[in-house]
Homo-oligomer: A and B are copies of this chain.
Amino acid sequence: MAGFDDVIIAGIGHTEYSKDSGRSEMQLACEAALAAIDDAGLAPAAVDGMVTFTLDPNDELTLMRNLGIPELRYWSRTPHGGPGSNTMVQHAAAAVTAGVADAVLLYRAFNERSGRRFGQPNQRQSMPGLNWYLPFGVDTPAKSYALAFQRYMYEFGVTNEDFGRYSVVARKHAATNPNAWFYERPITLADHQASRWIVEPILRLLDMCQESDGGAALVVTRADRAADLRHPAVRVIAAADGHLVDGSVMYNYYHRDLAEFSEARFVARQLWDASGIGPAAVDVAMIYENMSPIVFLQLEAYGFCGRGEAKDFIAGGNIELDGVLPVNPHGGLLGEGYIHGVNNVIEGVRQVRGSAANQVANVEHALVAAGRSGLVLGRL
């Protein structure tokens, strides 16, 4: 079971998503956190738990001092990367359910474009598995992911142009989202195909998520606080993590079948079990995309279409705002910004609240999928 009866996301907050914030990462964390706490209608003193990523540079005790939070009874960090965006919610939901905290602040903030860029060649001391690939020249996320993406392309006859059709949709959505870095800047498939190769013949520049500066935060609390809130409460219907043996830090190099995302399939199974819904009941999906192909693999892992069918599912218009399954109405990490997936959770909350820039009608169930982790959000 990964379901929660009495846990809500009560507040969301973020800075602008930029390429050069001009201020410290701690400042970004504070701004996002204060916005989320205020959005929940709470005072900082009500916060008694904190969750962030192991990769986050912002120390909890410093954040307490800066925000004026007097006491914490719970803190945790989520290992590894972007799936932590949902895992933070799982941690907080477990803490609130078990009564070890009442109101948990989730935060992630970085100068990931003007400071340390994840996309650059890098030895990853915090992710030991990755260093084994360095002797082979696999020194960026693009290169490491591309290995498995190429197998997927081979198995199902998928081309880079197919991937581009996702990018076009993401940028179309971002173009009408004022929070998005690429607001009012849509692209065509021709633009995508004209963008330079990052890993030929798999990934072009316009398949890649942004590198962003910014902060994003959430407040998770008990459902019985819903009456005090400034906005409609959003229930955490299910929150799941899924890690499989022979997984690697990032994606899939050792599983028997490199053309499927086994971890996402494992997460999906848990989410459907815990929520009692299936793919047909999902009204909108926020799908983590450090690179466009991973949307394809997750659409298939969650059963929105069959294996190898994502290219036709996307080409058929199904992921557009008026489609069967609107995907990333905010523009996703390609279009809106890359706050390590936390902005996807925020968009999930907005879609359930009914306050998104590109609002899907009557959202009862929002899926937030980030590979090794996932959420089903809904109305209280």
Contact = CB atoms under 8 A, between A and B. Distances in A.
Interface of A: 1-4, 54, 57, 59-62, 64-65, 68-79, 87, 90-91, 93-95, 97-100, 127-129, 239-249, 266, 270
Given A77-B54, A93-B98, A100-B2, A129 B72 contact: no
Nearest to A74: B241
Contacts of A93: 98, 100
A148 to B, nearest CB: 16
12 contacts: A60-B79, A60-B243, A61-B243, A61-B247, A65-B246, A70-B244, A71-B242, A72-B241, A72-B243, A73-B242, A75-B243, A94-B100
Nearest to A93: B98
State the main secondary structure of chain A at its contact with B.
mixed
Nearest to A88: B76
Nearest to A52: B79
A253 to B, nearest CB: 11
A69 B247 CA distance: 11
A76 B73 contact: no
A64 B2 contact: no
Given A90-B100, A97-B98, A100-B241, 20 more contacts: A1-B99, A2-B100, A54-B54, A54-B77, A60-B79, A60-B243, A62-B128, A68-B245, A69-B245, A71-B266, A74-B90, A75-B79, A75-B87, A75-B241, A75-B243, A76-B78, A77-B78, A97-B97, A98-B98, A100-B239
A59, A60, A62, A129, most chain B CB atoms within 10 A: A59
B97 A62 contact: no
A93 B99 CA distance: 11
B240 A73 contact: yes
A76 B64 contact: no
